[in-house]
Amino acid sequence: MMTSYQNEISYNRKHKDEKVDERLGKAEMNSERALDELFFIKDQFKTLQEERKRDIEETAEFIKQIINTGKQETSRELQKVAGDLEKCRRDLVDKCSVNELLETKSKIYT
C-alpha cells in the first residue's frame, strides 16, 4: 500500500513537473514572440523617423527652390521695369530740350 501511495505521489509530481515545464515552454515562446515584435516595431519606428527626416529635407529644398524662382522672376521684372524707365527717359530727352525737362522737373517737385 505504501508503494502504491509512493507511486501515486511520484506520478502526480511527474505530472505537475510536466505541466510546469509545458507552461515554462509556452512562456518562453511568448517572451520570444514579444521580443521579436518589439524589435520589429523598433525597426518600423526607425524607418518612419528616417522617412520623416527625408520628407522634411525634401520640403525644405522645395521651399528654397520656390523662393529662388520668385527672386529670379522679381529680378527679371525689375530689370524690365528699369529698361522701360531708361527707354522712357531717352525718349523724353530726344523729344524735349534740357531746359524743358528741368522746367517740368521743377513743376513736379514744387
Note down pLDDT in tens along the chain; length 110 residues: 677 778 778 878 888 888 888 888 888 888 888 889 999 999 999 999 999 999 999 999 999 999 999 999 999 999 999 999 999 888 777 777 767 767 777 777 76
pLDDT at 110: 66
Instruction: Give the closest residue to 72 by CA, choosing from 80, 60, 84.
Output: 80
Q: Report the pLDDT value the prediction gives residue 40, as an integer from 0 to 100.
A: 96
Q: Is the pTM of this model over 0.85?
A: no
For residue 96, give the DSSP letter. S
Q: Which of 76, 73, 105, 78 is nearest to 89 (CA)?
A: 105
C-alpha cell at 23: 507552461
Question: Structurally, how many domains does the chain consist of?
Answer: 1
pLDDT attached to residue 11: 79
Q: At what angle do helices 2-95 and 98-109 cross, to 10 degrees?
A: 120
Asked if 101 contacts 93 with a C-beta cutoff of 8 angstroms, the reply is yes
Domain ranges, residue 44? 2-109
